[in-house]
């Protein structure tokens, strides 16, 4: 039985679904959803295992794709999709799987053109930490090994007011690592995608810009956009204008 997926629906117009990344729940996407709702019906949802959504073991990427498909059916059987960070990897996988995605926008897709040579099974490492009850260590493993935050920032974040919320979602980091796989974008998989695609990158990580440009070249109707001055955050004033133009 599929778990309940909590979502907010705002606005009116052609549908857009937000697929967010690690540690993100609906409040993270709410400001961007509000900006897009000026012209679109926006679905902002909690991915399984976090926020108001349920969960179900064992985890599989295919189950998250089914969750997204159920939301697409909820809005009429076709929708544009915006994916952010590891949520962008999930959105791309869903498009390759054949979901009825009319337009696909990806922001800071954290995959490389070539998988890292020294590939580590991050999903297994995170799963072991969570099973041992070491949720804080799982959060810091993700921040250190997968995001690449400086050690000083990781130490500083231990006392952040939102730290308990991060630890509460630590088990979903296994999901993110599973979605990201070996860390490669594998351009042969999306080459046949027919929908328009916009791959957006911020300046934080050079490889994300390289991936965005390569992905845009690989698909029939792709374009890339480098947002100079942007950060790895969902800032409506930065993201909404190009997204509204693309989704129009």
Instruction: Summarize pLDDT for 39-96 with one digit per residue, the tens.
Output: 999 999 999 999 999 999 999 999 999 999 999 999 999 999 999 999 999 999 999 9
User: What pLDDT score was predicted for residue 117?
Assistant: 81
By CB atoms closer than 10 A (0-12, 13-18, 19+), residue 166 is buried
Q: How far apart are alpha carbons 75 and 51 in whole angstroms?
A: 21
Based on the structure, what is the number of domains in the chain? Answer: 2
Tokens linked to 200: 């957006």
Looking up residue 111, the CATH number of its domain turns out to be: 3.40.50.1820
> Domain of 212?
7-115+183-247
User: What pLDDT score was predicted for residue 140?
Assistant: 98
196-210 pLDDT, tens digit per residue, is: 999 999 998 999 999
For the residues 162-182, what does the mean pLDDT come to?
Answer: 97
Residue 238 lies in a domain: yes
**74 and 151: one domain?**
no
Residue 2 lies in a domain: no
Q: Which residues pair with 223 in a beta bridge?
A: 198
Report the mean per-residue pLDDT for the chain.
96
**82 and 189: one domain?**
yes
Q: How far apart are alpha carbons 31 and 5 in whole angstroms?
A: 20
**85 and 195: one domain?**
yes
Could you tell me the pTM of the whole model? 0.97
For the residues 88-116, what does the mean pLDDT come to?
Answer: 97
Q: Does 1 have pLDDT greater than 80? A: no
């Amino acid at each position: 039985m599929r778990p309940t997926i909590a979502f907010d629906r705002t606005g009116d117009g052609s549908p857009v679904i937000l697929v967010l990344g690690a540690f993100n729940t609906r409040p993270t996407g709410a400001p961007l959803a509000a900006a897009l709702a000026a012209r679109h019906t926006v679905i902002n949802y909690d991915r399984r295992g976090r926020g108001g959504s349920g969960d179900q073991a064992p985890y599989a990427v295919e189950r998250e794709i089914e969750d997204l498909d159920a939301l697409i059916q909820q809005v009429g059987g076709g929708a544009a999709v915006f994916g952010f960070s590891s949520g962008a990897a999930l959105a791309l996988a869903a498009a390759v799987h054949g979901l009825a995605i009319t337009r696909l926008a990806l922001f800071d897709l954290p995959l490389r053109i070539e998988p890292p040579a020294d590939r580590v099974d991050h999903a297994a490492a995170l799963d072991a930490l969570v099973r041992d009850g070491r949720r804080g260590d799982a959060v810091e493993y993700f921040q250190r090994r997968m995001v690449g935050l400086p050690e000083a920032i990781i130490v500083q974040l231990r006392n952040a007011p939102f730290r308990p919320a991060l630890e509460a979602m630590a088990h979903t980091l296994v999901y993110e690592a599973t979605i990201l796989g070996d860390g490669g974008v594998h351009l042969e998989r999306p080459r046949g995608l027919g929908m328009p695609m916009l791959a957006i990158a911020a300046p934080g990580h050079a490889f994300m810009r390289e991936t965005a440009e390569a992905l845009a070249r690989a698909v029939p109707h792709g374009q890339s956009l480098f947002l100079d001055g942007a950060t790895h955050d969902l800032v409506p004033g930065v993201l909404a204008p190009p997204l509204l133009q693309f989704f129009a």
